[in-house]
């Protein structure tokens, strides 16, 4: 969808971007990541030609952008800048509809779309449409900045540290909102950031820059597991393995289809199952398979009464769609070495252990 070919930018005093080649597939989010001054913004601005490349080419959908009329090109690319850049003289609604208005689209239709977009980022159109930017908080303005770029439904979106100016809590919220938007709109997004956590959270692929050069272009998990060199390793942080936790879902890490017992089963059965699987405890499920409780081996050993008289309540469970970061956090909080995993309806799907997680994270390193 977007292809950079040997793209370079030389300023009088410095080389800002040096021979960058990469490709972003349709519907992907590519995060440009790197320390300050490494050429992220310059690379991005060469895509909508706010900066003309010194050499190299940019293709969007196979078309060489230097052969397209520059105004037309920019109107077909959504653009979000870090300073937000809402026009203070226009209402929120008119700000959102700037590109549709430039394109001469039907006013009513674009105002309706603006209202829809406002709702998608949890701003009530009845309250905000007619307000002016100065009457919004920073986070609200940031949201408007993002949906303004989406108003004309461009296939490509460029975002230069769009959430940089927001406090960490609000940033997480807006990131989540954006990911939800992106899941339904499937734009091809290039996103500048210097926050590794943001990159890991949002990216399909991360491009790491160092003084104008692209040093690694990889999926977030590969980047964290196999940094190309010590610069990348330093940049992603010594806790990079912990960051990978967020990328792996509980479903992928759990032991599926585990042994289980029912309330009416005798304690001997539980003891036998635990001995067979070498477990110290076993989950008790209800008649249809919902996780209800658990029993320990040292409780059942040598007993014969039904499980219903011996079981304990489960202190916590984790959803299979959650990520390992939350799973590990839950284990630490409750001082547990394992967690039962359930689906949205509470059915028992598997279990996850600290040892299993360690093993999984380590697997990729042992492969080398």
Ligand X SMILES: Nc1ncnc2c1ncn2[C@@H]1O[C@H](COP(=O)(O)OP(=O)(O)OP(=O)(O)O)[C@@H](O)[C@H]1O
> Contact positions toward ligand X, by CB under 6 A?
11, 13-14, 16, 34, 36-42, 194
Residues near 303 by beta carbon (within 8 Å), at least 6 away in sequence: 267, 268, 271, 310
Q: Cβ 83 to other proteins, closest distance in Å?
A: 4
Partner from ligand X, Mg ion, other proteins, none contacting 37, C-beta within 5 to 8 A by type: ligand X
38 or 341: CB nearest ligand X? 38
Question: Which residues of the shown chain bind other proteins in the complex (CB under 8 A)?
Answer: 48, 50, 71-76, 79, 81, 83-91, 98-99, 102, 132-135, 148, 158
Q: Cβ 42 to other proteins, closest distance in Å?
A: 13
Partner from other proteins, Mg ion, ligand X, none contacting 262, C-beta within 5 to 8 A by type: none
**Which stretch, 10-18, 38-46, 110-118, 257-265, contacts Mg ion (CB under 5 A)?**
38-46
**Which stretch, 41-49, 71-79, 132-140, 306-314, contacts Mg ion (CB under 5 A)?**
41-49
DSSP 326: H
Beta strands in 204-328 (DSSP E): 205-210, 213-218, 255-256, 261-262, 281-285, 291-296, 318-319
Residues near 180 by beta carbon (within 8 Å), at least 6 away in sequence: 120
DSSP 225: H
98 or 236: CB nearest other proteins? 98
Residue whose pair of structure tokens reads 């105004």 in the numeric block: 71
Determine, following the binding rule CB under 5 A, whether residue 141 of this chain makes contact with Mg ion.
Answer: no
Partner from other proteins, Mg ion, ligand X, none contacting 14, C-beta within 5 to 8 A by type: ligand X
Structure tokens that stand for 241 in this block? 């393995």
Partner from ligand X, Mg ion, other proteins, none contacting 134, C-beta within 5 to 8 A by type: other proteins
Taking the C-alpha atoms of residue 150 and residue 152, their distance in angstroms, rounded to an integer, is: 6
CA pseudo-torsion sign 175, 176, 179, 185: negative
Partner from ligand X, Mg ion, other proteins, none contacting 206, C-beta within 5 to 8 A by type: none
Residue 258 · residue 244 · CB < 8 Å: no
Taking the C-alpha atoms of residue 153 and residue 61, their distance in angstroms, rounded to an integer, is: 16
Determine, following the binding rule CB under 5 A, whether residue 323 of this chain makes contact with Mg ion.
Answer: no
CA pseudo-torsion sign 213, 65, 188, 125: positive
Q: What share of the chain is helix, strand, coil (3-state, %, to 5)?
A: 40, 25, 35
DSSP 306: B
Q: Is 214 helix (H, G, I), strand (E, B) or coil?
A: strand
4 or 150: CB nearest other proteins? 150
**Which stretch, 14-22, 33-41, 114-122, 328-336, contacts Mg ion (CB under 5 A)?**
33-41
Taking the C-alpha atoms of residue 121 and residue 98, their distance in angstroms, rounded to an integer, is: 18
Out of 41, 65, 76, 142, point to the residue binding Mg ion (CB under 5 A): 41
187 or 201: CB nearest other proteins? 187
Determine, following the binding rule CB under 5 A, whether residue 193 of this chain makes contact with Mg ion.
Answer: no
Determine, following the binding rule CB under 5 A, whether residue 182 of this chain makes contact with Mg ion.
Answer: no
Taking the C-alpha atoms of residue 287 and residue 276, their distance in angstroms, rounded to an integer, is: 23
Q: Cβ 99 to other proteins, closest distance in Å?
A: 5
Structure tokens that stand for 319 in this block? 């959803």
Structure tokens that stand for 227 in this block? 């940094």
Structure tokens that stand for 194 in this block? 């210097």
71 or 109: CB nearest other proteins? 71
166 or 273: CB nearest ligand X? 166
Partner from Mg ion, ligand X, other proteins, none contacting 335, C-beta within 5 to 8 A by type: none
41 or 95: CB nearest Mg ion? 41
69 or 344: CB nearest other proteins? 69
Residue numbers at the binding site for Mg ion (CB under 5 A): 41
């Amino acid at each position: 969808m977007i292809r950079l070919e040997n793209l370079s930018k030389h300023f009088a005093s410095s080389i800002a971007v040096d021979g960058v080649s990469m490709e972003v597939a349709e519907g992907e989010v590519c995060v440009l990541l790197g320390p300050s001054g490494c050429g992220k913004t310059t690379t991005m601005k060469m895509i909508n030609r706010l900066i003309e490349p010194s050499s190299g080419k940019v293709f969007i959908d196979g078309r060489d952008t230097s052969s397209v009329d520059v105004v037309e090109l920019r109107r077909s690319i959504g653009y979000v800048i870090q300073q937000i850049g809402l026009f203070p003289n226009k209402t929120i609604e008119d700000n959102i509809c700037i590109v549709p208005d430039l394109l001469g689209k039907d006013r009513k239709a674009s105002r309706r779309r603006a209202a829809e977009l406002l709702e998608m980022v949890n701003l009530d159109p009845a309250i905000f449409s007619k307000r002016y930017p100065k009457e919004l908080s920073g986070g609200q303005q940031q949201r408007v900045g993002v949906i303004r770029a989406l108003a004309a439904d461009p296939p490509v979106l460029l975002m230069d540290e769009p959430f940089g100016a927001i406090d960490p809590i609000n940033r997480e919220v807006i990131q989540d909102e954006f990911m939800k938007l992106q899941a339904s709109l499937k734009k091809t997004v290039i996103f500048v950031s210097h926050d590794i956590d943001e990159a890991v959270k949002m990216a399909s692929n991360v491009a790491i820059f160092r003084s104008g050069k692209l040093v690694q272009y990889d999926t977030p998990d590969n980047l964290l597991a196999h940094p190309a060199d010590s610069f990348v390793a330093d940049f992603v942080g010594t806790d990079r393995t912990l960051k990978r936790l967020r990328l792996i879902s509980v479903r992928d890490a759990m032991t599926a289809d585990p042994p289980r017992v029912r309330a009416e089963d005798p304690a001997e059965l539980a003891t036998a199952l635990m001995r067979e699987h070498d477990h110290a405890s076993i989950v008790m499920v209800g008649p249809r398979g919902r996780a209800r409780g658990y029993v320990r081996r040292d409780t059942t050993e040598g007993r014969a009464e039904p499980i219903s008289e011996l079981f304990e309540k489960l202190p916590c469970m984790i959803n299979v769609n959650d990520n390992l970061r939350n799973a590990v956090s839950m284990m630490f909080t409750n001082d547990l070495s394992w967690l039962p995993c359930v689906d949205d309806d509470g059915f028992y799907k598997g279990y996850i252990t600290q040892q299993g997680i360690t093993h999984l994270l380590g697997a990729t390193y042992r492969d080398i």
